[in-house]
A and B are shown apart, each in its own frame.
Chain A
Amino acid sequence: EASGKCIPLAAVFGRGYKQTPLYVVNHGETGPIRCNRCKAYMCPFMQFIEGGRRYQCGFCSCVNDVPPFFFQHLDHIGRRVDHYERPELSLGSYEYVATLDYCRNNKPPKPPAYIFMIDVSYRNINSGLVKLICDELKTLLDKLPREEQEESSAIRVGFVTYNKVLHFFNVKSSLAQPQMMVVSDVGEVFVPLLDGFLVNFQESRSVVINLLDQIPEMFADTNESETIFAPVIQAGMEALKAAECAGKLFIFHSSLPTAEAPGKLRNRDDKKLLNTDKEKTLFQPQVNSYEALARDCVANGCCVNLFLFPNQYVDVASVGLVTMYTGGTLYKYNNFQVSLSDSNFLSDLRKDIEKTTGFDAIMRVRTSTGFRATDFFGAIYMNNTTDVEMAAVDCDKAVTVEFKHDDKLNEDSGALIQCAVLYTSISGQRRLRIHNIGLNCSSQLADVYKTCETDALINFFAKSAFKAILSQPLKIVREILVNQTAHMLACYRKNCASPSAVSQLILPDAMKVLPVYMNCLLKSCVLVARPEIPTDERAYQRQLVTSMGVADTQLFFYPQLLPLHSLDLKSDSVPAAVRCSEERLSEGGAFLLADGLRVFLWLGVSAPPELIQGLFNVPSFAHISTEATSLPDLDNPFSKKLKSILEHIQSQKPYTMKLIIVKQREQSEMLFRQFLVEDKSIYGGASYVDFLCCVHKEICQLLS
């Protein structure tokens, strides 16, 4: 009886793309076997009865006939003889090949397409960004994702540049030269060409390379500084729609779209709104058109990846909206300079292009009786209350699902969850990915507290709080978070803990880090309204967290702090992380701090000179330049070790972390200190101890 209900029940579905490919089940033309009533897919929860002729659905208990081709005898314990031969009977996750019924318009999908859309306004040309992108694409296009068994990628590519108008390029393989087609009717954009816009890179290689060579020159003497944005997305979407395929847009954009066009934005960043009821508007899109655009994009399987290079306010809340709803990724590089910060961007771009992605996806979560999915958080779009639509979904995106009881759960059968994702693979195959989870149910609250996962809880709390700030004042959201923490702990205290003095704070074992994590969440700049924090940064982080998986949120809210001065140069291991507090730092030490977006290399004033020599190839602390954004490649154990550590912490992370070198007692330390999350923050965030006291006080109140 888990009706204490103080702990939210939530599941986070990452898309286990990183693991070895799943087994694929193909039932040919009949398609996947599904329960007649609840439409759940064949899975290990289906109970075969009557000698294998029928099966009972584990979710709705409906008894269905086994289709003749699927029939198999049962063994002595009532299990099908082919139990272990069939992934859908023995595994938690597997894939089905979907039939035409599962396809848009009942037509087999075409392979997806990637469209590269480059802002060629004055600033991007002048900064060299356009040239950088074009040069990089020349090599990246060879690395488009492909299915394991295939020689080359089926993904087609297209190119658009834009400033105040859109330039489409015809890169048909038969052409000697690419052709540019300008669409200046930005009020009502359309695709000017069909044939030759989306091409196979291998076939059109010479024309595409030619184009990428010419783009920077073509606009070399531009003085157009205004840009459009919504029409760019619209154009990309229309192109995909016309080509009848799903796909991704890669938009490289740098300024507030002020040109006269739909989705035109003005600078509405107003610090006066902070801590007022109107603060939430800063997180909402400025104009309605972006939401409608997002809906259209999702409906057409168009995912928008946005690379932002802002020097000032670009209204991330508005321009990033379509990206968020379409399952795209938002990248932001403040004050981007080609020579200094390009490695981050290029590595992000490379990863994003190479990433395996599912397109035009729709997710449905089914549960056994007694509870149901009530809320969904992530880079998703929902037209109704049950179907989660995603224009694209990749390995770094996670959807957090909140469940609620609507009846008693059965302790014997447990709680069953089946998450089915229908998507188009990179080769253009329509597939169904099925994840099945069976959870135990217990009437003992203590058991519930024992098995709870704090990392997942924080993920859920963060996502729900970040969603709530769209509709509620910040203050209330913060209060709710504190209250919930207190409630959960008070409930434990009341029902499970052994009696003890009221003044004593008792934390369940599995939740002992909850207060520290919760404090970190409360200190996140999204939930802190201070004029020093740029609005765009808050909107950006809000959006990032919304699609993050558990591991990512954990790191994001509680960064990893690794001591470097005590490295064991011989072993391959990464040093054990220490708590994020200034107390852990020492003048003679050097530390690495990573939160998933940035990695700081902190150097104490008296850090070991051999370490400094080894890492920077300079004789002393004073010689270290904090300008650098990367470390020199040096042939010594220190350097190699640090590189391997950096590589390790970077692996499996969706964003390439920006390296920032911080010297103790220098100006840049201020920023660094904000990440020492257990300490009192300069923006007024409580230290861990203070927060604990505060929570304790609340608990006492609740108990009395």
Chain B
Amino acid sequence: MATYLEFIQQNEERDGVRFSWNVWPSSRLEATRMVVPLACLLTPLKERLDLPPVQYEPVLCSRPTCKAVLNPLCQVDYRAKLWACNFCFQRNQFPPAYAGISEVNQPAELMPQFSTVEYIVQRGPQTPLIFLYVVDTCLEEEDLQALKESLQMSLSLLPADALVGLITFGRMVQVHELSCEGISKSYVFRGTKDLTAKQIQDMLGLSRPAVPTQQGRPLQTSEQPVISSRFLQPVHKIDMNLTDLLGELQRDPWPVTQGKRPLRSTGVALSIAVGLLEGTFPNTGARIMLFTGGPPTQGPGMVVGDELKTPIRSWHDIEKDNARFMKKATKHYETLANRTAANGHCIDIYACALDQTGLLEMKCCANLTGGHMVMGDSFNTSLFKQTFQRVFNKGFNGEFRMAFGANLDVKTSRELKIAGAIGPCISLNAKGPCVSENELGIGGTSQWKICSLDPSTTLAIYFEVVNQHNAPIPQGGRGAVQFVTQYQHSSTQKRIRVTTIARNWADAQTQLQHIEAAFDQEAAAVLMARLGVYRAESEEGPDVLRWLDRQLIRLCQKFGQYTKDDPNSFRLSESFSLYPQFMFHLRRSPFLQVFNNSPDESSYYRHHFARQDLTQSLIMIQPILYAYSFHGPPEPVLLDSSSILPDRILLMDTFFQIVIYLGETIAQWQKAGYQDMPEYENFKHLLQAPLDDAQEILQTRFPMPRYIHTEHGGSQARFLLSKVNPSQTHNNLYAWGQESGAPILTDDVSLQVFMDHLKKLAVSSAS
């Protein structure tokens, strides 16, 4: 058998699934002693080049409480045309269409290599995708211009039949009617008054009157267009009009006096956008795209008052319970987010401003609906422009990398129960026999709704082993999990992707080494990190760190090899060796540390952490560092202050930032202009190499990272210095000698100190 690493990789590529444990402890008690829960990272729509969808309905188990999909793990009686469900053991007849099957003529879903199958099904009418732009007009002229251009450009990227709508807001909220010719028409709403969906629909004239016509009136029997078409029009029909309309958009005309913030009605604008779609296109794929250049300053959802002298809330204010508007605003946006999610729509937030914009309060809008969250300094930056453009990127098959209204249904073998999920989803409250009472993340359900997702959207799903200790599973028994994701493809087709996986059970008392070897420390780190970040949203920061530490210590106690009370004897096997280091960096990461971050930034970082796939998540936890020098080809180096050398160029990728750092000597050479001299062409190449590599990352990642080019002693070098392990600080500088690395001026503990403590605690017989 191949190594577990290969097994894990193969499974990830085929099914988009990575489990923390790839051999499962067979009893509840043992499973809890494993510290890291049995869980997986699931990328439901992982891009598969080799997976052509099949054009028929999946075959379902006939037991109403099960309804699992026929899969390669099912036992099939080809002669009797029967199959047994591997989850509930119900025996099912094949449908008539399967009359011709035999051992040699199997449908795809029975072949072992098709543990993941995608079905295209015919359900209901296909409605085009909907894009509703919600645009802040309280922007600086230059910003607004850039935004307008981006929006105009985006029209050409939309599918031709997509419906598009426009809402602008400032002090008032305007819903633009797109169908009328000649005079441009918009419905205006007060920015301070929250309205119910019903009121909004009435005011927009979307509710159909009970008595449509009166006597003596010309009856309008001829084609009644879709009623909302006034506000949402096919882009191919109105792209000229809309381009003009966008072009004519003016800054909010209401005067802003000195010392005041502009009055910005983001809360009402979003509420109207949600209400508009709720009334007209429930349960079809729709994106509400909010572009805002500052915090909401009036009406429901206001985050800060309009007095400039009162700054927007900081973490300090929040800790001191000084954030006046936070709770109310958060509640407003949460209500909106839940309504949006219930309708299957999603909300994107593109917030570009130098100060905070209220992402902390609004985060749920994107988090619960699977929408994007993008944070930038200005709409007139490539960061925004490129990122926005990438929303409409197409995959290898020319299809948009977006899907809507997904419904993820998880089915498990009897020995397992579902504890919860963490990701851009909401619970569908589907109770059932396989739902655990112990919740991890969003629990209490076996189904979640993901209103918007792309091929990289990844959910963490946590399980609980419920098999009792006294009911051992026979040797060779396997546990199975089936993920059924129904979604609206960007082509508006309804599709169902079914992934069925199985893992071996092992008795932890006798076969611990099997379980240990099948530990996926990368997945485990990300899964634990997601739990930690999830907790951090509701708990105090230090509590979460303590919890993480305790889990780490317990894991080391369980799987480390040591003699009691001898830290030096402590060893971890290869499959666990990197795990403590991940935890060390996680503790320092902006996901758990709020120091030096605004509440908005924290929300932004956490938002992305809760949805990216394993590789990206790991980069976020522990940024990668490459070194470029004359001593050899570019190589990854330790994320450690000792890697910062004068004759090196470093490239750090933290997911959110790409930092290029020129070492002291390199920077001096560059200043001296060696790269321009023909005889030092190799230096020019050396300078160029990291730029090229950075460019590659910049061009593919969503959202586009902040690009920082700095050098030794540069102020922006702080981005690098704050990330590396401070193995050399001003405290131990002389002990380490002066030649290697750069000292970091910090009191943070280094990885070495952290490890020493960990070992001490792990081997301690006191705990």
B188 touches A122 (CB 8 A): no
Report how many A-B pairs have Cβ atoms within 8 Å. 66
The chain B residue sitting closest to A215, CB to CB, is: B183
Q: A180's contact among B183, B203, B204, B214, by CB below 8 Å, is which?
A: B183
**Scoring B residues 173 to 204 as 1 if CB is less than 8 Å from chain A, else 0, what string do you get?**
01000000011111111100101000000111
Main secondary structure of the interface of A (DSSP, over half): loop
A195 touches B253 (CB 8 A): yes
The chain B residue sitting closest to A190, CB to CB, is: B190
Residue from B187, B213, B220 having most chain A Cβ neighbours under 10 A: B187
In the assembly, what is the distance between CA of A177 and CA of B172, in Å?
21
In the assembly, what is the distance between CA of A184 and CA of B185, in Å?
13
Question: B150 CB to closest chain A CB, in angstroms?
Answer: 23
B190 touches A185 (CB 8 A): yes
- Asked if A507 is an interface residue, CB under 8 A from chain B, the answer is no
B203 touches A185 (CB 8 A): yes
* Size class of the A contact interface (CB-based, 8 Å): 20 to 34
Interface residues of B in 158-183 (CB under 8 A from A): 172, 174, 182-183
Q: A194's contact among B183, B190, B214, B254, by CB below 8 Å, is which?
A: B254
Chain A residues lying within 8 Å of B182, measured Cβ to Cβ, are 177, 214, 218
Q: A182's contact among B187, B193, B213, B214, by CB below 8 Å, is which?
A: B187
Chain A residues lying within 8 Å of B174, measured Cβ to Cβ, are 181, 192
- Asked if A484 is an interface residue, CB under 8 A from chain B, the answer is no
Chain B residues lying within 8 Å of A179, measured Cβ to Cβ, are 183-186
**Scoring B residues 474 to 504 as 1 if CB is less than 8 Å from chain A, else 0, what string do you get?**
0000000000000000000000000000000
Chain B residues lying within 8 Å of A182, measured Cβ to Cβ, are 185-188
The chain A residue sitting closest to B189, CB to CB, is: A185
- Asked if A284 is an interface residue, CB under 8 A from chain B, the answer is no
B185 touches A180 (CB 8 A): yes
A183 touches B183 (CB 8 A): no
- Asked if A225 is an interface residue, CB under 8 A from chain B, the answer is yes
Question: A166 CB to closest chain B CB, in angstroms?
Answer: 9
In the assembly, what is the distance between CA of A196 and CA of B252, in Å?
13
B220 touches A181 (CB 8 A): no
Question: A339 CB to closest chain B CB, in angstroms?
Answer: 20
A214 touches B188 (CB 8 A): no
In the assembly, what is the distance between CA of A192 and CA of B253, in Å?
10
Chain B residues lying within 8 Å of A550, measured Cβ to Cβ, are none
In the assembly, what is the distance between CA of A370 and CA of B435, in Å?
95
- Asked if A44 is an interface residue, CB under 8 A from chain B, the answer is no
B220 touches A223 (CB 8 A): yes
Chain B residues lying within 8 Å of A479, measured Cβ to Cβ, are none
In the assembly, what is the distance between CA of A183 and CA of B188, in Å?
5
Question: B666 CB to closest chain A CB, in angstroms?
Answer: 55
Chain A residues lying within 8 Å of B184, measured Cβ to Cβ, are 177, 179-180
- Asked if A631 is an interface residue, CB under 8 A from chain B, the answer is no
Chain B residues lying within 8 Å of A193, measured Cβ to Cβ, are 172, 188, 253
In the assembly, what is the distance between CA of A180 and CA of B183, in Å?
7
**Scoring A residues 221 to 236 as 1 if CB is less than 8 Å from chain B, else 0, what string do you get?**
1010100000000000
- Asked if B123 is an interface residue, CB under 8 A from chain A, the answer is no
**Scoring A residues 155 to 188 as 1 if CB is less than 8 Å from chain B, else 0, what string do you get?**
0000000000100100000000111111111001
Question: B721 CB to closest chain A CB, in angstroms?
Answer: 50
Chain B residues lying within 8 Å of A221, measured Cβ to Cβ, are 218, 220
A184 touches B203 (CB 8 A): yes
Chain B residues lying within 8 Å of A184, measured Cβ to Cβ, are 187, 202-205
In the assembly, what is the distance between CA of A181 and CA of B188, in Å?
6
The chain A residue sitting closest to B184, CB to CB, is: A179
- Asked if B217 is an interface residue, CB under 8 A from chain A, the answer is yes
The chain A residue sitting closest to B199, CB to CB, is: A185
In the assembly, what is the distance between CA of A122 and CA of B189, in Å?
25
Interface residues of A in 180-218 (CB under 8 A from B): 180-185, 188, 190, 192-196, 211, 214, 218
The chain A residue sitting closest to B191, CB to CB, is: A190
We find that the number of chain B residues with CB closer than 8 angstroms to chain A is 25
The chain B residue sitting closest to A218, CB to CB, is: B183
Question: B252 CB to closest chain A CB, in angstroms?
Answer: 10
The chain A residue sitting closest to B186, CB to CB, is: A181
Question: B516 CB to closest chain A CB, in angstroms?
Answer: 65
Chain A residues lying within 8 Å of B186, measured Cβ to Cβ, are 179-182
In the assembly, what is the distance between CA of A185 and CA of B187, in Å?
10
A165 touches B213 (CB 8 A): no
A223 touches B217 (CB 8 A): yes
A194 touches B205 (CB 8 A): no
A223 touches B218 (CB 8 A): yes
In the assembly, what is the distance between CA of A235 and CA of B720, in Å?
58
In the assembly, what is the distance between CA of A459 and CA of B40, in Å?
93
In the assembly, what is the distance between CA of A609 and CA of B214, in Å?
51
Interface residues of B in 202-237 (CB under 8 A from A): 202-205, 213-214, 217-218, 220
Q: B217's contact among A122, A165, A180, A195, by CB below 8 Å, is which?
A: A122
In the assembly, what is the distance between CA of A198 and CA of B74, in Å?
75
In the assembly, what is the distance between CA of A180 and CA of B180, in Å?
11
Chain B residues lying within 8 Å of A211, measured Cβ to Cβ, are 183
In the assembly, what is the distance between CA of A120 and CA of B182, in Å?
18
Question: A212 CB to closest chain B CB, in angstroms?
Answer: 12
In the assembly, what is the distance between CA of A211 and CA of B183, in Å?
8
In the assembly, what is the distance between CA of A305 and CA of B188, in Å?
26
Chain B residues lying within 8 Å of A165, measured Cβ to Cβ, are 203, 205
Chain B residues lying within 8 Å of A183, measured Cβ to Cβ, are 187-188
In the assembly, what is the distance between CA of A195 and CA of B254, in Å?
8
The chain B residue sitting closest to A223, CB to CB, is: B217
In the assembly, what is the distance between CA of A214 and CA of B214, in Å?
26
Interface residues of B in 652-669 (CB under 8 A from A): none
Residue from B186, B213, B214 having most chain A Cβ neighbours under 10 A: B186
The chain B residue sitting closest to A180, CB to CB, is: B185
Question: A211 CB to closest chain B CB, in angstroms?
Answer: 8
Chain A residues lying within 8 Å of B255, measured Cβ to Cβ, are 194
Question: B625 CB to closest chain A CB, in angstroms?
Answer: 54
Chain A residues lying within 8 Å of B205, measured Cβ to Cβ, are 165, 184
Question: A651 CB to closest chain B CB, in angstroms?
Answer: 41
B188 touches A192 (CB 8 A): yes
Interface residues of A in 48-92 (CB under 8 A from B): none
Residue from B188, B213, B214 having most chain A Cβ neighbours under 10 A: B188
Chain A residues lying within 8 Å of B204, measured Cβ to Cβ, are 184
Question: B464 CB to closest chain A CB, in angstroms?
Answer: 51
Question: B141 CB to closest chain A CB, in angstroms?
Answer: 15
Chain A residues lying within 8 Å of B189, measured Cβ to Cβ, are 185
Question: A120 CB to closest chain B CB, in angstroms?
Answer: 13
In the assembly, what is the distance between CA of A302 and CA of B652, in Å?
67
Question: A126 CB to closest chain B CB, in angstroms?
Answer: 9
Chain A residues lying within 8 Å of B187, measured Cβ to Cβ, are 181-184
Chain A residues lying within 8 Å of B195, measured Cβ to Cβ, are 185
In the assembly, what is the distance between CA of A194 and CA of B254, in Å?
7
In the assembly, what is the distance between CA of A165 and CA of B220, in Å?
21
A178 touches B213 (CB 8 A): no
A188 touches B190 (CB 8 A): yes
In the assembly, what is the distance between CA of A396 and CA of B182, in Å?
42
Question: B682 CB to closest chain A CB, in angstroms?
Answer: 60
Q: B213's contact among A181, A188, A223, by CB below 8 Å, is which?
A: A223
Chain A residues with CB under 8 Å of chain B are 122, 165, 168, 177-185, 188, 190, 192-196, 211, 214, 218, 221, 223, 225
List 18 extra interface pairs beyond A177-B182, A179-B186, A193-B188, CB under 8 A: A165-B205, A177-B184, A178-B183, A179-B183, A180-B183, A181-B174, A181-B185, A181-B188, A182-B187, A182-B188, A184-B187, A185-B189, A185-B193, A188-B193, A194-B255, A195-B253, A196-B253, A221-B220
30 A–B contacts, CB within 8 A, in A order: A165-B203, A177-B182, A177-B183, A179-B184, A180-B183, A180-B184, A180-B185, A181-B186, A181-B188, A182-B185, A182-B187, A183-B187, A183-B188, A184-B203, A184-B205, A185-B190, A185-B195, A188-B190, A188-B193, A192-B172, A193-B188, A195-B253, A211-B183, A214-B182, A218-B182, A221-B218, A223-B214, A223-B217, A225-B214, A225-B217
| 10 tightest A-B CB contacts, nearest first | A184-B203, A192-B188, A180-B185, A195-B253, A182-B187, A181-B188, A179-B184, A190-B190, A223-B217, A183-B188
